[in-house]
Amino acid sequence: MSGFWIILIGSLVASCCAILGCFLILRRMALIGDAISHAVLPGIAIAFLLSGSRDSLFMLLGAAVFGFAAVFLIQLLKRGGVQGDASLGVVFTALFAIGVVLISLNARNIDLDLDCVLFGEIAYAQWNTLALGGVELGPKAVWLLGFTLAVILLVVFLFYKQFKLISFDPALAAALGIPVALFHYVLMGLVSMASVSSFESVGAILVVGLLIIPPSAAYLLTDRLGVMLAISVAIGVVSAIAGYGAAAALDASIAGSMVCAAGLLFALAFLFSPKHGWLAHRLARHRAAA
């Protein structure tokens, strides 16, 4: 049964990240997921200091506040003339460092492990169960990630056309009266929510891999956004299943093996994609030369 919960948690994490990652890839903002996943650390620490609890609601609120703060600061620096990649690096490293300092200064009072926050341990998530009326309802991570996935699906379903247009042509979207800035912050808020929901399972660093790798592989396999979303989720789920199998066989990190499996699937897509793959380009050049 433990294997089932691990695969389910990994699949939920991968699904949340894969959906959001598609929009980040299309908007050329892949690394902003990295920035947000690190920048929310001080929000987590402050939420624990104020509440004295590791309750997921407080963690989500704290992370959301600092996720929005990170996005606001990045945009502010860009408007101030700082290059986009530089503003990204400055904000996320500064906020992440603040979180590390807060945790290290209050190490005796904070029941937070930096290694857990960074790398996570999905094998232990199944033991932190949710009980209601004395009845155990399964791991808390499943409920939290399930709720996060439901919110992501609902928002994307309700505003799919707006997200699609903004991803491909933000200038046209603004001309049509779509509040581009608002939807930008909504997307960043969902990324913050997905990042903190996944901390306990796979940690901050590996969330970045799941945000970028499955959508990047799907991007190589299709030119349609709806299909890209479906393929990205499928790659994420297959990565979770294959990664768990590899970790069990090799006695290695489960979360790390899941991301490695995603990387292998990306490599296959890069090599053998019918339209954008390396092999297809080589064949096209060979035919042109002939």
Helix (H, G, I), strand (E, B) or coil at 277: coil
What's the token pair of residue 115?
């290694």
* Whether residue 255 has pLDDT greater than 60: yes
* Whether residue 9 has pLDDT greater than 70: yes
pLDDT at 242: 94
**Fold of domain 2-128+138-272:** ABC transporter involved in vitamin B12 uptake, BtuC (1.10.3470)
Query: Stretch 174-196: mean pLDDT, rounded?
Result: 86
User: What burial class does residue 187 get, using C-beta atoms within 10 Å of its C-beta: 0-12 exposed, 13-18 middle, 19+ buried?
Assistant: buried
Q: How far is CA 221 from its chain centroid?
A: 20
pLDDT digits (tens, 9 = 90+) for 25-50: 998 887 777 777 778 778 877 877 77
What's the token pair of residue 202?
């796979």
* Whether residue 131 has pLDDT greater than 80: no
Cβ atoms of 14 and 261 closer than 8 Å: no
Distance separating the N- and C-terminal Cα atoms of the chain: 57
Helix (H, G, I), strand (E, B) or coil at 176: coil
- Closest of 43, 35, 45 to residue 75, by C-alpha: 35
pLDDT at 67: 79
> Rounded to an integer, what distance in angstroms lies between the CA atom of residue 290 and that of residue 288?
5
Which residues, other chains included, contact 98 with Cβ-Cβ below 8 Å and sequence gap of 6+?
41, 42
User: What burial class does residue 278 get, using C-beta atoms within 10 Å of its C-beta: 0-12 exposed, 13-18 middle, 19+ buried?
Assistant: middle
What's the token pair of residue 255?
């979360």
* Whether residue 120 has pLDDT greater than 80: no
pLDDT digits (tens, 9 = 90+) for 223-236: 899 999 999 999 99
Count of C-beta atoms within a 10 Å radius of residue 196: 30
pLDDT digits (tens, 9 = 90+) for 60-87: 777 778 877 888 888 888 888 788 778 8
Name the pTM for this structure. Answer: 0.86
Helix (H, G, I), strand (E, B) or coil at 212: helix
